Amino acid sequence: IARAQEQAVASGQLEPARRAADWARLDPVAAPEAFGPTDLVIAKPASIAERDLLRQALPAGAVLALSGTAPGPGELGIDRSSQRLAAIWAATPDRLADLPRLAAVLRAGGMRVIHARALALRLEAAWLGAADRCVLAGAAPQAVDAALTRWGFAEGPFARVARLGAERTAARLSAAGPGPGPVLATLAVLGEATGGMTGGMTGAGAEAALAALRAEAGIVPRRLSETEILARMLAELAQPGLAARETGEAFRPGDIDLMAGAELGFPAPRGGPMFQADRIGALALRKRLRALVAEGAAPPPALIDELIRDGQTLAGRFT
Protein backbone atom coordinates (compact mmCIF):
# COMPACT_ATOMS: atom_id res chain seq x y z
CA ILE A 1 0.00 0.00 0.00
CA ALA A 2 2.79 2.39 0.94
CA ARG A 3 4.66 1.80 -2.33
CA ALA A 4 1.49 2.32 -4.38
CA GLN A 5 0.72 5.54 -2.53
CA GLU A 6 4.25 6.90 -2.97
CA GLN A 7 4.07 6.19 -6.69
CA ALA A 8 0.69 7.92 -6.91
CA VAL A 9 2.05 10.98 -5.07
CA ALA A 10 5.13 11.09 -7.32
CA SER A 11 2.98 10.92 -10.47
CA GLY A 12 0.59 13.61 -9.21
CA GLN A 13 -2.39 11.25 -8.90
CA LEU A 14 -2.60 11.53 -5.10
CA GLU A 15 -2.21 14.56 -2.83
CA PRO A 16 0.17 14.14 0.14
CA ALA A 17 -2.63 15.22 2.49
CA ARG A 18 -4.88 12.46 1.13
CA ARG A 19 -2.07 9.93 1.62
CA ALA A 20 -1.72 10.99 5.25
CA ALA A 21 -5.48 10.80 5.76
CA ASP A 22 -5.57 7.30 4.28
CA TRP A 23 -2.87 6.11 6.68
CA ALA A 24 -4.71 7.67 9.62
CA ARG A 25 -7.65 5.34 8.86
CA LEU A 26 -5.51 2.19 9.11
CA ASP A 27 -4.65 0.01 12.09
CA PRO A 28 -1.89 -2.34 10.87
CA VAL A 29 -1.87 -5.91 12.19
CA ALA A 30 0.61 -8.72 11.58
CA ALA A 31 -1.76 -11.59 10.84
CA PRO A 32 -5.43 -12.21 9.91
CA GLU A 33 -6.13 -13.55 13.41
CA ALA A 34 -5.69 -9.98 14.70
CA PHE A 35 -8.38 -8.45 12.48
CA GLY A 36 -10.81 -8.15 15.35
CA PRO A 37 -14.53 -7.44 14.88
CA THR A 38 -15.36 -6.50 11.29
CA ASP A 39 -18.13 -7.16 8.82
CA LEU A 40 -16.17 -6.85 5.56
CA VAL A 41 -12.65 -8.03 4.69
CA ILE A 42 -11.11 -6.95 1.37
CA ALA A 43 -8.02 -8.92 0.40
CA LYS A 44 -5.69 -9.67 -2.50
CA PRO A 45 -4.04 -12.96 -1.50
CA ALA A 46 -0.68 -13.70 -3.11
CA SER A 47 -1.24 -17.46 -3.17
CA ILE A 48 -3.87 -20.15 -2.68
CA ALA A 49 -2.41 -20.89 0.76
CA GLU A 50 -2.76 -17.24 1.77
CA ARG A 51 -6.35 -17.18 0.52
CA ASP A 52 -7.18 -20.29 2.56
CA LEU A 53 -5.56 -18.73 5.65
CA LEU A 54 -7.75 -15.65 5.24
CA ARG A 55 -10.86 -17.80 4.99
CA GLN A 56 -9.97 -19.69 8.16
CA ALA A 57 -9.26 -16.48 10.08
CA LEU A 58 -12.36 -14.62 8.89
CA PRO A 59 -14.22 -13.10 11.86
CA ALA A 60 -17.66 -14.56 12.52
CA GLY A 61 -20.27 -12.95 10.28
CA ALA A 62 -17.72 -11.13 8.12
CA VAL A 63 -17.93 -11.15 4.31
CA LEU A 64 -14.76 -11.78 2.29
CA ALA A 65 -14.18 -9.76 -0.89
CA LEU A 66 -11.31 -11.11 -3.01
CA SER A 67 -9.30 -9.16 -5.57
CA GLY A 68 -7.09 -10.92 -8.11
CA THR A 69 -8.55 -14.38 -7.55
CA ALA A 70 -11.93 -16.02 -8.04
CA PRO A 71 -14.28 -15.73 -5.03
CA GLY A 72 -15.89 -18.83 -3.58
CA PRO A 73 -19.52 -19.38 -2.49
CA GLY A 74 -20.72 -16.63 -0.19
CA GLU A 75 -17.87 -14.28 -1.18
CA LEU A 76 -17.58 -11.13 -3.26
CA GLY A 77 -15.25 -10.57 -6.20
CA ILE A 78 -13.33 -7.44 -7.21
CA ASP A 79 -11.60 -6.71 -10.52
CA ARG A 80 -9.35 -3.68 -10.08
CA SER A 81 -7.79 -1.94 -13.06
CA SER A 82 -4.72 0.26 -13.10
CA GLN A 83 -6.92 3.34 -13.59
CA ARG A 84 -8.80 3.17 -10.30
CA LEU A 85 -11.81 1.37 -11.74
CA ALA A 86 -13.26 -1.67 -9.97
CA ALA A 87 -15.87 -4.18 -11.13
CA ILE A 88 -17.57 -6.01 -8.27
CA TRP A 89 -19.87 -9.02 -8.14
CA ALA A 90 -21.30 -11.64 -5.77
CA ALA A 91 -20.24 -15.25 -6.31
CA THR A 92 -23.66 -16.45 -5.08
CA PRO A 93 -27.06 -14.68 -4.94
CA ASP A 94 -27.13 -14.69 -1.12
CA ARG A 95 -24.44 -11.95 -1.11
CA LEU A 96 -26.04 -9.54 -3.58
CA ALA A 97 -27.20 -7.35 -0.70
CA ASP A 98 -23.57 -6.84 0.37
CA LEU A 99 -22.50 -5.25 -2.93
CA PRO A 100 -23.62 -1.66 -2.06
CA ARG A 101 -21.53 -1.79 1.14
CA LEU A 102 -18.46 -2.98 -0.79
CA ALA A 103 -19.04 -0.30 -3.43
CA ALA A 104 -19.23 2.39 -0.73
CA VAL A 105 -15.92 1.30 0.79
CA LEU A 106 -14.15 1.28 -2.58
CA ARG A 107 -15.58 4.66 -3.57
CA ALA A 108 -14.38 6.09 -0.25
CA GLY A 109 -10.90 5.02 -1.36
CA GLY A 110 -11.21 6.95 -4.62
CA MET A 111 -12.25 4.06 -6.89
CA ARG A 112 -14.87 4.22 -9.62
CA VAL A 113 -17.15 1.18 -9.26
CA ILE A 114 -19.24 -0.77 -11.74
CA HIS A 115 -21.22 -3.99 -11.20
CA ALA A 116 -19.93 -6.72 -13.52
CA ARG A 117 -18.73 -10.28 -13.02
CA ALA A 118 -15.06 -10.97 -13.88
CA LEU A 119 -15.39 -8.59 -16.82
CA ALA A 120 -11.74 -7.52 -16.98
CA LEU A 121 -10.50 -11.09 -17.24
CA ARG A 122 -13.04 -12.02 -19.90
CA LEU A 123 -12.26 -8.96 -22.02
CA GLU A 124 -8.55 -9.69 -21.75
CA ALA A 125 -9.07 -13.35 -22.64
CA ALA A 126 -11.13 -12.41 -25.72
CA TRP A 127 -8.51 -9.86 -26.80
CA LEU A 128 -5.64 -12.32 -26.50
CA GLY A 129 -7.66 -15.14 -28.06
CA ALA A 130 -8.48 -12.95 -31.07
CA ALA A 131 -4.80 -12.06 -31.45
CA ASP A 132 -3.92 -15.76 -31.25
CA ARG A 133 -6.34 -16.55 -34.09
CA CYS A 134 -5.03 -13.65 -36.22
CA VAL A 135 -1.53 -15.12 -36.03
CA LEU A 136 -2.77 -18.65 -36.75
CA ALA A 137 -4.54 -17.26 -39.83
CA GLY A 138 -1.26 -15.82 -41.11
CA ALA A 139 -0.46 -12.49 -39.43
CA ALA A 140 2.81 -11.93 -37.60
CA PRO A 141 2.54 -11.06 -33.88
CA GLN A 142 4.28 -7.75 -34.58
CA ALA A 143 1.73 -6.95 -37.31
CA VAL A 144 -1.18 -7.51 -34.89
CA ASP A 145 0.40 -5.21 -32.31
CA ALA A 146 1.19 -2.57 -34.93
CA ALA A 147 -2.37 -2.55 -36.30
CA LEU A 148 -3.85 -2.02 -32.84
CA THR A 149 -1.41 0.59 -31.60
CA ARG A 150 -1.74 2.60 -34.81
CA TRP A 151 -5.52 2.53 -34.25
CA GLY A 152 -4.97 3.94 -30.76
CA PHE A 153 -4.53 1.07 -28.28
CA ALA A 154 -1.98 1.77 -25.55
CA GLU A 155 -0.19 -1.49 -26.37
CA GLY A 156 -0.70 -4.56 -28.50
CA PRO A 157 -1.74 -7.94 -27.08
CA PHE A 158 1.65 -9.57 -27.66
CA ALA A 159 3.47 -6.61 -26.11
CA ARG A 160 1.17 -7.01 -23.11
CA VAL A 161 2.03 -10.70 -22.81
CA ALA A 162 5.74 -9.87 -23.03
CA ARG A 163 5.28 -7.30 -20.25
CA LEU A 164 3.23 -9.54 -17.96
CA GLY A 165 5.24 -12.69 -18.64
CA ALA A 166 4.05 -16.08 -19.80
CA GLU A 167 3.30 -17.48 -16.34
CA ARG A 168 1.16 -14.57 -15.19
CA THR A 169 -0.64 -14.41 -18.53
CA ALA A 170 -1.42 -18.13 -18.41
CA ALA A 171 -2.81 -17.79 -14.87
CA ARG A 172 -5.10 -14.92 -15.89
CA LEU A 173 -6.33 -16.74 -19.00
CA SER A 174 -6.97 -19.91 -17.02
CA ALA A 175 -8.97 -17.90 -14.46
CA ALA A 176 -11.08 -16.54 -17.33
CA GLY A 177 -11.73 -20.04 -18.64
CA PRO A 178 -10.04 -20.78 -21.96
CA GLY A 179 -6.36 -20.79 -21.00
CA PRO A 180 -3.62 -19.72 -23.45
CA GLY A 181 -4.22 -20.34 -27.14
CA PRO A 182 -1.82 -22.41 -29.25
CA VAL A 183 0.16 -19.41 -30.48
CA LEU A 184 0.71 -17.96 -27.01
CA ALA A 185 1.61 -21.39 -25.64
CA THR A 186 4.13 -21.92 -28.44
CA LEU A 187 5.69 -18.46 -28.03
CA ALA A 188 5.92 -19.01 -24.28
CA VAL A 189 7.94 -22.19 -24.83
CA LEU A 190 10.22 -20.36 -27.26
CA GLY A 191 10.53 -17.50 -24.77
CA GLU A 192 11.81 -19.85 -22.07
CA ALA A 193 14.78 -20.61 -24.29
CA THR A 194 15.40 -17.00 -25.29
CA GLY A 195 14.96 -15.14 -22.01
CA GLY A 196 11.35 -13.98 -22.25
CA MET A 197 8.28 -13.64 -24.46
CA THR A 198 9.85 -10.84 -26.54
CA GLY A 199 12.64 -13.20 -27.55
CA GLY A 200 10.11 -15.92 -28.28
CA MET A 201 8.24 -13.65 -30.72
CA THR A 202 11.26 -12.22 -32.51
CA GLY A 203 13.77 -15.06 -32.30
CA ALA A 204 14.94 -17.05 -35.31
CA GLY A 205 12.78 -20.02 -34.37
CA ALA A 206 9.50 -18.12 -34.06
CA GLU A 207 8.59 -18.14 -37.76
CA ALA A 208 9.40 -21.83 -38.14
CA ALA A 209 7.47 -22.74 -34.99
CA LEU A 210 4.39 -20.80 -36.14
CA ALA A 211 4.60 -22.40 -39.60
CA ALA A 212 4.67 -25.85 -37.99
CA LEU A 213 1.72 -24.91 -35.77
CA ARG A 214 -0.34 -23.80 -38.78
CA ALA A 215 0.56 -26.93 -40.73
CA GLU A 216 -0.48 -29.12 -37.81
CA ALA A 217 -3.84 -27.32 -37.64
CA GLY A 218 -4.32 -27.63 -41.42
CA ILE A 219 -4.26 -23.85 -41.91
CA VAL A 220 -2.97 -22.30 -45.12
CA PRO A 221 -1.63 -18.91 -43.90
CA ARG A 222 -2.59 -15.75 -45.74
CA ARG A 223 -1.68 -12.12 -45.38
CA LEU A 224 -4.10 -10.15 -43.18
CA SER A 225 -4.40 -6.43 -43.84
CA GLU A 226 -4.54 -3.99 -40.94
CA THR A 227 -8.23 -3.44 -41.71
CA GLU A 228 -8.97 -7.16 -41.41
CA ILE A 229 -6.92 -7.51 -38.23
CA LEU A 230 -8.87 -4.65 -36.64
CA ALA A 231 -12.22 -6.04 -37.81
CA ARG A 232 -11.47 -9.46 -36.33
CA MET A 233 -10.15 -8.05 -33.06
CA LEU A 234 -13.07 -5.65 -32.53
CA ALA A 235 -15.64 -8.34 -33.33
CA GLU A 236 -14.15 -10.82 -30.84
CA LEU A 237 -13.74 -8.11 -28.21
CA ALA A 238 -17.46 -7.29 -28.50
CA GLN A 239 -18.45 -10.93 -27.87
CA PRO A 240 -17.76 -11.14 -24.07
CA GLY A 241 -19.35 -7.75 -23.53
CA LEU A 242 -22.52 -8.79 -25.35
CA ALA A 243 -22.59 -12.08 -23.46
CA ALA A 244 -22.17 -10.30 -20.11
CA ARG A 245 -24.96 -7.85 -20.95
CA GLU A 246 -27.18 -10.73 -22.10
CA THR A 247 -26.82 -12.63 -18.81
CA GLY A 248 -27.02 -9.53 -16.61
CA GLU A 249 -23.41 -9.96 -15.46
CA ALA A 250 -22.79 -6.42 -16.70
CA PHE A 251 -25.55 -3.85 -16.41
CA ARG A 252 -24.68 -1.15 -18.93
CA PRO A 253 -22.80 -1.20 -22.26
CA GLY A 254 -20.98 1.91 -21.04
CA ASP A 255 -19.58 -0.04 -18.06
CA ILE A 256 -18.10 -2.57 -20.47
CA ASP A 257 -16.49 0.22 -22.50
CA LEU A 258 -15.08 1.78 -19.31
CA MET A 259 -13.46 -1.50 -18.31
CA ALA A 260 -12.01 -2.05 -21.79
CA GLY A 261 -10.40 1.37 -21.63
CA ALA A 262 -9.03 0.85 -18.15
CA GLU A 263 -7.89 -2.76 -18.55
CA LEU A 264 -6.87 -3.04 -22.20
CA GLY A 265 -5.94 0.53 -23.08
CA PHE A 266 -8.84 0.73 -25.57
CA PRO A 267 -8.51 4.23 -27.12
CA ALA A 268 -10.92 6.63 -25.43
CA PRO A 269 -11.78 8.56 -28.65
CA ARG A 270 -12.97 5.25 -30.15
CA GLY A 271 -15.51 4.71 -27.35
CA GLY A 272 -15.12 1.04 -26.48
CA PRO A 273 -16.08 -2.40 -27.79
CA MET A 274 -19.82 -1.85 -27.26
CA PHE A 275 -19.73 1.55 -28.95
CA GLN A 276 -17.81 0.00 -31.83
CA ALA A 277 -20.29 -2.88 -32.00
CA ASP A 278 -23.05 -0.35 -32.66
CA ARG A 279 -20.90 1.33 -35.32
CA ILE A 280 -20.25 -2.02 -37.03
CA GLY A 281 -23.93 -2.92 -36.88
CA ALA A 282 -25.50 -6.05 -35.42
CA LEU A 283 -25.91 -7.82 -38.77
CA ALA A 284 -22.29 -7.30 -39.88
CA LEU A 285 -21.03 -8.19 -36.40
CA ARG A 286 -22.96 -11.46 -36.35
CA LYS A 287 -21.64 -12.37 -39.80
CA ARG A 288 -18.04 -11.72 -38.69
CA LEU A 289 -18.40 -13.71 -35.46
CA ARG A 290 -20.06 -16.63 -37.25
CA ALA A 291 -17.14 -16.77 -39.69
CA LEU A 292 -14.64 -16.81 -36.82
CA VAL A 293 -16.37 -19.72 -35.04
CA ALA A 294 -14.70 -22.08 -37.52
CA GLU A 295 -11.34 -20.80 -36.22
CA GLY A 296 -12.23 -21.45 -32.58
CA ALA A 297 -13.92 -18.19 -31.61
CA ALA A 298 -16.97 -18.14 -29.33
CA PRO A 299 -20.35 -18.10 -31.13
CA PRO A 300 -22.38 -14.88 -31.34
CA PRO A 301 -24.58 -14.34 -28.26
CA ALA A 302 -28.34 -14.53 -28.78
CA LEU A 303 -28.54 -10.82 -27.91
CA ILE A 304 -27.25 -10.01 -31.42
CA ASP A 305 -30.19 -11.90 -32.93
CA GLU A 306 -32.57 -9.89 -30.75
CA LEU A 307 -31.00 -6.58 -31.81
CA ILE A 308 -31.31 -7.55 -35.48
CA ARG A 309 -34.91 -8.73 -35.03
CA ASP A 310 -35.97 -5.55 -33.21
CA GLY A 311 -33.92 -3.16 -35.36
CA GLN A 312 -32.13 -1.82 -32.26
CA THR A 313 -28.66 -0.80 -31.20
CA LEU A 314 -27.09 -1.50 -27.83
CA ALA A 315 -27.23 2.19 -26.97
CA GLY A 316 -30.93 2.35 -27.87
CA ARG A 317 -31.85 -0.83 -26.01
CA PHE A 318 -30.04 -0.24 -22.71
CA THR A 319 -30.21 3.52 -22.15
The model's confidence at residue 162, banded by pLDDT at 50, 70 and 90, is confident
Q: Which candidate, 237, 241, 239, 257, places its Cα nearest to that of 249? A: 241
pLDDT above 90 for 119 = no
What integer pLDDT is reported at residue 195 of this predicted model?
A: 53
pLDDT top residue among 213 and 166: 213
The DSSP element (H or E) to which 40 belongs, if any, is strand 40-43
Residue by residue, DSSP assigns 159-189 as HHHHHH-HHHHHHHHHHHSS---HHHHHHHH
pLDDT above 80 for 92 = yes
How confident is the model over 122-151, as a mean pLDDT? 94
pLDDT above 70 for 317 = yes
Q: Among 65-69, 137-141, 220-224, whose mean pLDDT is lowest? A: 65-69
What integer pLDDT is reported at residue 286 of this predicted model?
A: 96
pLDDT above 60 for 200 = no
Per the prediction, the chain carries an average pLDDT of 87
Q: For helices 253-264 and 226-247, what crossing angle results, to 10°?
A: 130
Give the integer Cα–Cα distance in Å for 87 and 285.
Answer: 26
The model's confidence at residue 120, banded by pLDDT at 50, 70 and 90, is confident
How confident is the model over 89-97, as a mean pLDDT? 89
Q: Among 27-36, 201-210, 300-309, whose mean pLDDT is lowest? A: 201-210
Phi-psi region for residue 222, left (φ > 0), alpha (ψ -120 to 50) or beta? Answer: beta
- pLDDT, tens digit (0-9, with 9 covering 90-100), for 19-31: 898 888 888 887 7
Phi/psi of residue 116, nearest 5 degrees: -160, 145
What integer pLDDT is reported at residue 192 of this predicted model?
A: 60
- pLDDT, tens digit (0-9, with 9 covering 90-100), for 8-20: 899 988 899 988 9
What integer pLDDT is reported at residue 208 of this predicted model?
A: 84
Give the integer Cα–Cα distance in Å for 312 and 106.
Answer: 35
pLDDT above 60 for 199 = no
- pLDDT, tens digit (0-9, with 9 covering 90-100), for 249-302: 888 899 899 989 988 999 999 999 999 999 999 999 999 999 999 999 999 999
For the ranges 14-18, 150-154, 196-200, 211-215, the one whose mean pLDDT is highest? 150-154
**Beta strands 85-90 and 112-115, pairing class:** parallel
As a 3-state breakdown, the chain gives helix, strand, coil percent values, each rounded to 5, of 65, 10, 30
pLDDT above 50 for 247 = yes
How confident is the model over 86-93, as a mean pLDDT? 88
What integer pLDDT is reported at residue 44 of this predicted model?
A: 87
For the ranges 113-122, 158-167, 239-248, 268-277, the one whose mean pLDDT is highest? 268-277
The model's confidence at residue 151, banded by pLDDT at 50, 70 and 90, is very high
Instruction: Specify the pTM.
Output: 0.76
